Chains A and B, each alone.
Chain A
Amino acid sequence: MLKENMLDSHFHLFHMKKLEMPYMDLIKHSFDEGLVYALDIGINADNFEDRIKTAAELKGLYTAHGYYPSQCNSDDLESELEYLEQTLINDNKAVALGEIGLDFYHDYGSFELQAELVKRQINIANRLNLPVIIHSRNAEAETLKLLDENRVDRAGIIHCYSYSPETAQQFIDLGYNISFAGNVTYKNAGVIKESAAAVPLDSLLIETDAPYLSPQMVRGKRNHPGHIGYTYSCIAELRGIPLIELIAAVKTNFETLFRIS
């Protein structure tokens, strides 16, 4: 159940739209029900304008813009990066650059190509003094090394975390927060559950990654920020702490990272 002051640190509003979900009703209703913040993440330049406009209308809705690893084969990287930087400057509600990262689960491109895109975007983040949102799939060691060698001044978030508690600590040592998505609620999510229980409370964030990764209780349904309560309850239970304590901590972490008061 969605509770007051819960937040969604990572979701894709316009992917919900693409799936023909009543995305505006869903996000507004979530805010009415108590959701305090939601961070709408971009993966490419699609819908930049619409997303900025929508965020401007809703108080708790913030944006992040960035190019996903799938964009690493772009023919016109220079102008696209310029466009990204300009968008981040122009969008008042933009609080981070992302999501960016490495993905060797899909055949998006070589390590070199994907890493180059990440490095270029980290440079932009550092110029604009923004945190970054990191996507990392089947690329544990590579991501750690890349982020170690390319430090972000305000670090950011390792989103939809799926590696071990030990690796989480290494990301935290680099200044990152660890964000858990609906897959932590899955029965076979052994290592993710271990990490969600182990990550220090002041480095923990929670997300839906909507419209993907619906939590176990609503698996099979399309996901949206209104489902964030299931993941909060699961993590509170895993850590053995009162829900309210988790809500307060995650809210503080989000506000601190994105400098929101």
Chain B
Amino acid sequence: MKILPFHDGIDAIRKQLKELNEKIESSDVESEATGFNKREFLNSVILESMNESEREKEQILNSLVEKVCYLDLDYKIKWINDAGLRNVGDKVSINDIIGQTCYKVWYNRSEPCPSCPVETTIKTNWPWKEEVSHPDGTTILVSSQPVIDDNGKMTGTIEIELDITMRKDVERALERSQQRARALLDLIPDFLLIIDNEGKILDYHPAADFNVLSNIEYPEGRMVTEVFSPELSGMIMTNCDMLTEQGVQRNFEYVDKSGKTEKFYDCRFIQTTDTETVCIIRDISTHKSREKEILHRSFHDKLTGLYNRAYFEEECNRIDQSRESLPTSILVIDVNSLKLINDAFGHDFGDKLLLAVSNILSANCRKSDVIARTGGDEFAIILPKSPREKAEKLSERIRRACLERHFDDIFARPSVSIGSAERTDNSQTIDDIIKLADKRMYDMKLERRTEHLNTLISDILNSMQIHGQQSKNHTENCIKLSIDFAVFLNLPKDSVKKIKNLALLHDIGNIRLSNEILSKSDRLSETEYDEIKQHPIIGYRITKAIPDYSSVADLILHHHERWDGQGYPSGLKGKDIPLLCRLFSIIDTWELLINGSTYKPSLSFTEAANEIRRCSGKQFDPEIAGRFIQFIKEKQG
């Protein structure tokens, strides 16, 4: 029977046998005479020695904490050590359980335990082991070894059981802790390196964009210098060298300029032991570009890209405390009539105008000048090392550039009021200088207000004619007819002037209408017609804000009202419609009937007169329509 190698015992037996043989061989005692039989003696000595050896083996096996039992091929116990026996009960003797199955004795089962390795060993002749978990929470490491006889036939198995519950608990706790650590590492976008003092990478945790910094697939075991660029590895090693104490941290920022766009990395170090440093490298490019954007936004105006008020004030504070840039001039620039423009044309157009002004300012200033948009319609320029004369020259250049600006895209030329002031010594605060420039700007604005507005109106009318939003002939004919008719009716002078302006500006609101709608010969859709109906309102807004024309704003608003109340925008009826509007609506129609329009071909005098008659009492005031026919007839002579 081969159970376990037991070399010491067998060696001892061999030694004793050798000694005995030598003793017997050298003995001169005659066996026959004395009855001493050498063979029998030898056998008794062998047996005694064997028993001694078995006892020793048993003692050793009994001293083990593992349960050891020798099973036959039917799982029946042939021998068991003390640890195995203790497991059954204190009072049980080995003879009580020999011949019983191990699963019955230890686990009170009627069949082998699930995943018992003995089954595998019996099937395959292979040694086998399994960690077997029992319902009571214990985990047993069970291993089985085949017992092979001299003919190579398996006669049984040695089953060894070791309670590893505690070890498994510790392993599980460790595994949980490792899983948490792994999950944490997986969650963080950084990559992590553990490096030794020589710069060898002992361990790493890759990040998604690791290959941006290195194309080495397995950096573990390599030197930092092999894995990263010379610049980055140099920075890593310098920082590692500077860490002299455990727990002390260092960090630096690395900028990778090798790619199309700059990448920024935050590299942090902490020494964990005398020989190891943990390094975390985080991609902070997005954060950096946001930071840059926020910084840019906090000091720049979004629309024009110029500096904003915050930057301007900061710059003013800086200048206040410095003598370097003296003399310093300040220009305060205000875009004229921006509110009117925004109201009349919408903020998109106002923004376009502001952009046009900002471009003019940038084009006319030096690099060292600080141009800022300090308010909705206000700009300011700091001109370091510039006396006021220079600032005035610049003002003139800007004004001229505004006047020369083509207005294909912006309906009207930008118009600005500018005030300037200079700071020649430190006793003047920059605030006072700004206030002075501001005052000069307002003075100029007031002085030229009417001029600005009239320029604006004439620009708009020009623009409309250029873009085909209003026919020059129609306007001129209407003006002429209006004046003549007003005179025919003996209207007061003031009314004649008003109807002239009404004729001039009645369709100024068309500036907001697209050419597609204005030139459409097909029937307009409901939405398009709604848009058309907006033009008296827009015209009203524009003219209301201009002193010279504000008196006709109401007339412009109502020039499309009808006698029967079916007109727009207010649906006024009968004599609620201002007289000049009732009058002008006939002239406007007559002019289009006689000269034709996009919608209708021209009519003969009689046809047109019949049309006016037909619409009398519906579209037109019947009394005025009658007088108009009379007026026209007289005019025809």
Contacts and interface: CB of A to CB of B under 8 A. Distances in A.
Interface of A: 1, 3-5, 18-20, 34, 106, 211-212, 219-220, 222, 244, 248
B188 to A, nearest CB: 13
Contact of B126 (A4, A19, A219): A4
Q: Most chain-A CB neighbours within 10 Å: which of B127, B185, B218, B220?
A: B220
B182 A244 contact: no
Nearest to B196: A20
B214 to A, nearest CB: 13
A20 B275 CA distance: 15
B interface, how many residues as a size bin? 10 to 19
Given A4-B126, A18-B221, A34-B127, 6 more contacts: A3-B128, A5-B126, A20-B202, A220-B185, A244-B123, A248-B124
A4 B129 contact: yes
A19 B221 contact: yes
B131 A244 contact: no
Contacts of A211: 220
A7 B220 CA distance: 25
The B interface, classified by DSSP as helix, strand, loop or mixed, is mixed
Contacts, number: 29
B218 A212 contact: yes
B272 interface: no
Given A3-B129, A220-B182, A244-B120, A20 B218 contact: no
Nearest to A18: B221
Contacts of B131: 1
B385 interface: no
Given A220-B182, A220-B205, A244 B221 contact: no
Interface string B173-211: 000001000100100000000000000001001000000
Contacts of B205: 220
A219 B124 contact: no
Report the 6 A-B pairs with minimum CB-CB distance, sorted nearest first. A19-B221, A4-B126, A4-B127, A18-B221, A4-B128, A220-B182
Interface string B397-429: 000000000000000000000000000000000
Contacts of B220: 19, 211, 222
A72 B549 CA distance: 89
A27 to B, nearest CB: 17
29 contacts: A1-B129, A1-B131, A3-B128, A3-B129, A4-B126, A4-B127, A4-B128, A4-B129, A5-B126, A18-B221, A19-B220, A19-B221, A20-B202, A20-B221, A34-B127, A34-B129, A106-B217, A211-B220, A212-B218, A219-B182, A220-B178, A220-B182, A220-B185, A220-B205, A222-B220, A244-B120, A244-B123, A244-B124, A248-B124
Interface in B125-143: 126-129, 131
Contacts of B120: 244
Contacts of B221: 18-20
Interface string B110-132: 00000000001001101111010
Nearest to B200: A20
Q: Most chain-A CB neighbours within 10 Å: which of B123, B178, B217, B221?
A: B221
A211 B217 CA distance: 13
Contacts of B178: 220
Contacts of B185: 220
A236 B126 CA distance: 19
Q: Most chain-B CB neighbours within 10 Å: which of A3, A106, A222?
A: A3
A119 B334 CA distance: 81
Nearest to A242: B120
A95 to B, nearest CB: 23
Nearest to B205: A220
B386 to A, nearest CB: 59
A60 to B, nearest CB: 14
Contacts of A222: 220
A18 B220 CA distance: 9
A234 to B, nearest CB: 17
A248 B220 CA distance: 35
A113 B202 CA distance: 34
A186 to B, nearest CB: 13
A219 to B, nearest CB: 7
Contacts of B202: 20
Nearest to B175: A217
A240 to B, nearest CB: 17
Contacts of A212: 218
Contacts of B182: 219-220
A211 B220 CA distance: 10
A136 B221 CA distance: 24
Q: Most chain-A CB neighbours within 10 Å: which of B126, B131, B178, B205?
A: B126
A220 B192 CA distance: 12
A249 to B, nearest CB: 13
A83 to B, nearest CB: 26
Q: Most chain-B CB neighbours within 10 Å: which of A4, A219, A222, A248?
A: A4
A92 to B, nearest CB: 27
Nearest to A222: B220
Nearest to A243: B120
A219 B218 CA distance: 14
A248 B124 CA distance: 9
Contacts of A1: 129, 131
Nearest to B218: A212
A227 to B, nearest CB: 14
Contacts of B129: 1, 3-4, 34
Interface in B73-88: none
A20 B128 CA distance: 31
Nearest to B120: A244
A220 B206 CA distance: 10
B73 to A, nearest CB: 18
Contacts of A19: 220-221
Contacts of A220: 178, 182, 185, 205
A4 B121 CA distance: 10
Contacts of B123: 244
B151 to A, nearest CB: 21
Contacts of A34: 127, 129
A43 to B, nearest CB: 13
